[in-house]
Amino acid sequence: APVAAAPVAAAPAAPAAPAPAAAPGNLAASGPAARKLADEKGVDASALVGTGKDGRVTKGDVLAAPAAPAAKPAAPAPAPAPKMVWAAGTQGDRPRAAQEERVRMTRLRQRIAERLKEAQNSAAMLTTFNEVDMSAAMALRAEYKDYFEKRHKVRLGFMSFFVKAAVQALKEIPAVNAEIDGTDIVYKNYYDIGVAVGTPQGLVVPVVRDADKLDFAGVEGTIAALGKKGRDGKLSMDELTGGTFTISNGGVYGSLMSTPIINPPQSAILGMHKTMDRAVVINGKIEVRPMMYLALSYDHRIIDGKEAVTFLVRIKELIEDPRRLLLDV
């Protein structure tokens, strides 16, 4: 029988040639609109296949291209280490707390702090200065102090001279004895003079009521009584409030000059200081006189500079010739 021929395997097909890589577009010849759009999208236009004439990349080629992946945001900079702040009333991590003593403020000290800060925050505060020759006042006091004390049972000090001088000057310059209430100025036709007194608990300012109606003995007696009550911690609120003007004497502690802080709602405060012998020119000659610097702090919202200076000069004139205090001139 005939034998069938063995099948012949077909020759394997030759592998297909790889498609030619698309030529990059002609970016140089592309229009400015296509290049600008490519920059905005973050597309590398030089890698695009241009479909325009001569292989130019068109705006359509750029729009069809996938946008470049967004860059990862930069890692945030580490936050700076917080500064150490110690809360009021707590020790926190104070490095030398073991060597410190913490004492709670008394109610009086807290109130003093509040009032002083209130004055600085609310008033347009300014200070003017002058100096006074204490020769005549010292001579008058030296001549009559023993008789005065024997007669009135109270010592004659210099504070009564300044209280009486302040009352007379306040009558002449009423703005210094006034206060601001909202949009009004309240002029006071009474003279309640606060006298700053140092106590173991802090500075207090008891008020000498109706000082214009008191003589020297009445002023000195009232100040002595209020001072004792202050040192004993027995002053009432009524005795500490309602003053129209204040006098502070830093000279008892040795202060030569200061800028006292107004006692709100008052508009001014007079600062006395230490009396010291200094060389001054009197009638063309150099003489040594007991001199004291005076300071007037005032609220510039209500008191003009001219008024403040005039007031302080009037104080100076009255102290340098204390007979005027007796004659009201």
Give CA angle at 111 (110, 112), nearest 5°: 90
Is-contact 205 263, C-beta < 8 A?
yes
Is-contact 295 127, C-beta < 8 A?
yes
H or E segment and range at residue 253: none
d(CA 54, CA 46): 14
Catalytic site includes residue 300: yes
Catalytic one of 212, 232, 304, 321: 304
Catalytic site includes residue 328: no
Nearest to 194 by CA among 261, 256, 131: 261
Catalytic one of 44, 232, 238, 300: 300
Integer CA distances (angstroms), 114 to 107, 111, 270, in order: 11, 5, 21
Strand, helix or coil for residue 229 = helix
d(CA 73, CA 261): 56
Contacts of 308 (CB under 8 A, 6+ apart): 126, 128, 176, 268, 296, 298
Question: What sections of the chain are H helices per DSSP?
Answer: 32-41, 59-64, 107-122, 135-152, 159-172, 216-231, 237-240, 305-320, 323-327
Is-contact 309 300, C-beta < 8 A?
no
Residues in a beta bridge with 295? 129, 271
Contacts of 104 (CB under 8 A, 6+ apart): none
Give the rounded distance of the alpha carbon of 94 from its chain centre.
26
Integer CA distances (angstroms), 153 to 137, 277, 315, in order: 20, 30, 27
| Catalytically active residues, by annotation | 300, 304
